[in-house]
Chain A
Amino acid sequence: MTELATMEFHPQPRAGEAKPWAFPAPERGTLANGLTVLHCHRPGQQVVAVEIILDAPLDAEPAGLDGVATIMARAFSEGTDKHSAEEFAAELERCGATLDAHADHPGVRLSLEVPVSRLPKALGLVADALRAPAFADSEVERLVRNRLDEIPHELANPSRRAAKELSKELFPATARMSRPRQGTAETVEDIDSAAVRAFYEKHVRPATATAVVVGDLTGVDLESLLGDTLGAWTGSQAQPRPVPPVTADDAGRVVVVDRPGAVQTQLLIGRIGADRHDRVWAAQVLGTYCLGGTLTSRLDRVLREEKGYTYGVRAFGQVLRSAPDGSGAAMLAISGSVDTPNTGPALDDLWKVLRTLAAEGLTDAERDVAVQNLVGVAPLKYETAAAVASTLADQVEQHLPDDYQATLYQQLAATGTVEATAAAVNAFPVDRLVTVLVGDAAQIKEAVEALGIGEVKVVAAE
């Protein structure tokens, strides 16, 4: 008690007056070549973020060539009509820039970050890559081999392995979403420079692309900079492309991916549900946060802070594809890892948390804290140019209005406890969840079967 006696205690301070903050509104324009441009001035952000969104979705990959969008995305930084692959990488790094490119269900994204003083040069390089990529045979061949070498590493990683299995279980085998985003060994092997170029010619053009530029743009003549760089890129007009609706089989069942000797079981429990074009999205975000958004949410309060079964379990909703016609969906999931001997008890508790939520609902206090956090963290979350650019690019990719994020904060603040409860219960119904467990089947199978959360199937890790 000596420690208590010596410090002077004060009551918990009250908050001061909140300062206004709003999610930045971008300015929108179109270049002569049809490229859409969003830009946003963020004072003080010396590192500018540029996101380029290409309408080249995974669904558009030719049959048997899963992974061609990924190889194309990577090949953008492997040389142009002006630079070899090595020169291109060297020139970018000379700007102090980083350039990431990846392919996902809605399309291909290029993300450039560079100090503003070197933006013109770096943007010129990226524009060259889009306008005149080399796609040299030997570079594409190297990227294919490199990708093939990566696959075993991903399969050996418990969380990556779980994600692969969940997609395979949830989506029909004919759907692109059922298969790994970056392809399998069988499909990647068949990719060559001709396939990459064909995919590029069919799906990459300025008229269906958008560039988002965010940062301290003081003294930057953006219009002429964009005209000189991305403006030089040409291409035909776009054809509208039909998109199949996302469907999934979420009948409650369990798949154990067997990893004998694993000291932990990786959990991934999911299904699909409402995406951002659904009116329930705000309530779903709120309800999902209350369930498993942080260490003090319902799941971790039991599984971590009471039982010590895990370092942390999270519930989340991640948009797979989102469109105004309602064809989109979000992956709704719970993930984490628990020690092997406690796998059964942990899942038992997890389901109890879900049943209690359905039976008793959220409390007003939980709802209030969640809203205060989700809305209150916005100024912190969007301090950097990269964070703002990434959200603006998501909005573009998901066909949402430019003020979507700003509106979402208002919707969250206006969402009540009852709506949040309903959304969370609908998002995670106890009998419609597909459970993937990557762990030691011999140690966990029996305990999981006893829970009655669905039929248990065991598959080999590879």
Chain B
Amino acid sequence: MPMGHTATDQAGTGGLTATEHRLANGLRVVLSEDHLTPVAAVCLWYDVGSRHEVKGRTGLAHLFEHLMFQGSGQVKGNGHFELVQGAGGSLNGTTSFERTNYFETMPTHQLELALWLEADRMGSLLAALDDESMENQRDVVKNERRQRYDNVPYGTAFERLTALAYPDGHPYHHTPIGSMADLDAATLEDARAFFRTYYAPNNAVLSVVGDIDPEQTLAWIEKYFGSIPTHDGKPDPRDGSLPEVIGEQLREVVEEEVPARALMAAYRLPHDGTRACDAADLALTVLGGGESSRLYNRLVRRDRTAVAAGFGLLRLAGAPSLGWLDVKTSGDVEVPVIEAAIDEELARFAEEGPTAEEMERAQAQLEREWLDRLGTVAGRADELCRFAVLFGDPQLALTAVQRVLEITSDEVREVAKARLRPDNRAVLVYEPTAPEATADQDENEEAAQ
């Protein structure tokens, strides 16, 4: 095959392997050895995300993630952070639509500590959870929301597009950060109930990757996690399925104090884990990934109507994925000019499909992204958990890049034709407004400089 030539012999896996295990309490374990550097990554995915939240309690999964760092049965206060960092490790947690993950990367000789810490909070968080940490972290999360979304230009674009693309009542209609009102409304009892429902060994996957002795590691895992009781009663997430195309163009115009006009859009795309999703990834890369893409060449290089133009893919397993278009206009250019150019490019692409050279470039870009992802023990641990939790098979992580390289240009054209259409998108337009009047002493002081 002329295309899909690979950058490494094993197309990204570098000969990596992973073994799978399951404790009696249902905890799934994935181990992968790599002795190149004396470090080990621990990654724990809980199968709970914002899609499991109920009306009036948006943001609870993420607020809860913060509470997981506020101490547990044998760990005081900020001990999770203190102990890991004091051992020369790094750590964090993140919450998305479909999962919550916690991870530590440790020097090899401190691996056991990370396992002990994760087991302690999985088994005994409620022993430490109190009003004080709840109130404090509620304020911290509200400030996180302000910093990342409310106080920056276009900061709420993602939230608005998601709300447009997934209908009211759909589990993905709201984003993980949640609303201020719901963050205010969350109670300590909500947090306790959330833990009891979702934080169970049988609702999690633990991966350990790096400079490990698998037998010893498994023995530690059995020792620390083995006695945590299984509990059931997790409700199934609400159904996220939707028709393949939206069927009409949804649109919202935001008049806000932003530096320039912007055109953003979310296209409804195939679910993650399918060949069609990989094909969509390639289509979006050809159209809007990097500085040789069709939209970049058209809008930024040739028409010179945009300062930036690109496509991204938000892969989702429990609902249609989102193809995310983001264009910021240049100077006084109006949005319809941009929109017409994009529609023309997408229509042409749907007819012609990618050229052989475009396929080669897009596959090379995605392959390098995979090499980067699998090039660190932490990245590998996260991908093993991802494929275990979302698709039931961690081994799929090691062959993911091969699947992308096997996609044909016909498949790319097909998915573009079927999905990248005006009647399958939610559009968000930003029109800048004049800034609010500034305090009156300013002009004098400004003039004085």
Contacts and interface: CB of A to CB of B under 8 A. Distances in A.
Q: Which of A1, A258, A309 has the most chain B CB atoms inside 10 A of its CB?
A: A258
Contacts of B90: 377, 380
A339 B110 CA distance: 38
Given A7-B227, A93-B364, A369-B82, A460 B7 contact: no
Given A13-B113, A308-B139, A379-B39, A369 B376 contact: no
B35 to A, nearest CB: 10
B227 A115 contact: no
B360 A94 contact: yes
B273 interface: no
Nearest to A149: B307
B89 interface: yes
B96 interface: no
B365 A96 contact: yes
Given A18-B109, A94-B360, A376 B88 contact: yes
Q: Which of B116, B127, B139 has the most chain A CB atoms inside 10 A of its CB?
A: B139
A442 B436 CA distance: 12
Given A117-B7, A263-B146, A458-B445, A296 B36 contact: no
A373 B290 CA distance: 36
Nearest to A86: B297
Nearest to B333: A149
B278 interface: no
A155 B113 contact: no
B330 A373 contact: no
A19 B211 contact: yes
Contact of B151 (A44, A114, A263, A461): A263
A368 B124 CA distance: 29
A383 B297 contact: no
A383 B37 contact: yes
A86 B371 CA distance: 25
A307 B151 CA distance: 20
A10 interface: yes
B439 A441 contact: yes
A163 to B, nearest CB: 15
Interface string B292-323: 10000100110010010000000000000000
Given A3-B124, A459-B445, A376 B87 contact: yes
19 contacts: A6-B228, A9-B73, A18-B107, A19-B38, A46-B14, A93-B290, A93-B291, A93-B292, A95-B364, A118-B7, A142-B304, A153-B153, A157-B152, A157-B153, A158-B151, A337-B151, A380-B106, A380-B107, A384-B376
Interface of A: 1, 3-4, 6-10, 12-13, 15-21, 43-47, 77, 85-86, 89-90, 92-98, 113-118, 142, 145-146, 149-150, 152-153, 155-158, 258, 260-264, 266, 294-296, 301, 304-311, 337-339, 368-369, 372-373, 375-380, 383-384, 441-442, 445, 457-461
Given A96-B364, A295-B81, A305-B78, 17 more contacts: A10-B223, A12-B74, A16-B110, A44-B34, A47-B368, A47-B375, A92-B292, A115-B8, A149-B307, A296-B78, A304-B140, A310-B147, A311-B144, A369-B82, A379-B39, A380-B107, A445-B439
